[in-house]
Amino acid sequence: MRGRHSSSGARDNGSNRSIRNGTDERAVSTVLDVALALLLISASVLVLGLYLEDGTEAERFDGTSAERTTETLAATTLSIQYDVGGVESSDVYVPPELTPPGAYERAEYGPATGLLADAAVTNARIGDHELLAYGDEYEDAVDGSIGSALVGADRDRDHHRHRVYAVAVWEPYENASIRGTATAGERPPVDEDVGSATIAVSSGLPPLEEAAIRDAYDRGDDREEGIALVAELLAERLVEGYFPPEQSQHALESQGLDRSLKVYHYRETAAAVGVEFDDPDDEGGPLSRSTANATAANERLVYGERGPETILDDLQEWFGDEDEPNGLAAVIADDLRNDALAPELKEIDRKYDDETADERVEDLLVESIALEEATITVQTWEP
């Protein structure tokens, strides 16, 4: 994930790896991680300072240049501290019996642009439903760290001050109802002359290859089935990214905060896609500690309560007004067809006959899906 390191990944549901492993080797590794982080941060500050204050006129930082600011952010390693205690405000969160002081505190370091992209993914919503209660805390930590890193970089060689505003946007496909954003800095006034630059960075989520998209679409007997099968594949990759099976299984089987946070994340995501889990305290369900099954829990999020074998049989309910989509695959299929790509699909039908239209729809899906990317737009201006 872009070379970032953390005591807990933002999409790890806040679980603390050192607590989970609890070994002397991990303790040593943690010390080395912190030392390396401090070394990288010191080096990045030194490089940034030299870039600003030394070298020829042509090499110095130009505060009005959005492109230069973007390059600086991409090359600067930052450290952030944040708190995941916001989960306590959620109705579905059940805290562990014992919560030691500082248990909710987390730290992460990496490129500034990578951390901002992580904040966007952590802030993801499905429609109006927030997936993680601590997304704002993470975003604020990234915002503050970027602001501190740019102190001194917001003035040009004539000491004119310039402002910087950065926006990260992540959506798994164009115009998706599943979307996350994060910002750093102050939004520029509408009447200012603003420079702008946009780059694509990794979202940290697994990619969906073109060949896989085309294969899924081609397995459908018609357009509706093709879209549903692509939505199924997309949902599987999304859930895999947010709930890595091995790590999630470990957390569900554990005790204490790791388990509480993971169960919270599953239940919050389930509510966003119209799915319910059995009470985690009742034996037999995939979230129960004694019968924990991350694979089954992930399938429930993807396919809903009906299961994978009925995905094509439920098309009429998904695409009609009779029922709300149940499971992430259904949510995505409904969104692709009726909202996100609806104008493009209508235009394709207007221009082409059935066979050519089918090819254009397949191309549209390939072009629209970018699960593994987030975009960052940096704006600079002189107040």
> Consecutive sets of 10 residues in the chain, 383 residues long: mean pLDDT of each?
44 39 33 37 37 36 69 93 94 90 94 96 95 94 92 55 90 97 93 91 94 96 93 96 96 95 96 92 90 96 78 56 77 94 96 93 97 95 82
User: Residues near 50 by Cβ (< 8 Å), separated by ≥ 6?
Assistant: none
H helix or E strand, kind and range, residue 111: strand 105-111
Residue type, 341: L
H helix or E strand, kind and range, residue 283: none
How many Å apart are CA 229 and CA 215, to the nearest integer? Answer: 9
How far is residue 254 CA from its own chain's centroid? 25
Cβ pair 298, 240 in contact under 8 A: yes
Considering only CA atoms, which of 86, 145, 99 is closest in space to residue 255?
Answer: 99
Query: CB under 8 Å, gap of 24 or more: what pairs does 340-345 form?
Result: 340/173, 340/174, 340/175, 340/176, 340/177, 340/368, 341/173, 341/174, 341/175, 341/365, 341/368
How much is the pLDDT for 5? Answer: 44
Which residue's structure tokens are 């429930």? Answer: 300
Which pair of tokens denotes residue 207? 């990619």
How many Å apart are CA 258 and CA 250, to the nearest integer? Answer: 9
How much is the pLDDT for 350? Answer: 95
How much is the pLDDT for 314? Answer: 59
Cβ pair 296, 286 in contact under 8 A: yes
Spatial strand order in the sheet of 5-6: 5-6, 105-111, 77-83
How much is the pLDDT for 176? Answer: 97
Considering only CA atoms, which of 84, 64, 68, 66 is closest in space to residue 76?
Answer: 68
How many Å apart are CA 93 and CA 83, to the nearest integer? Answer: 15
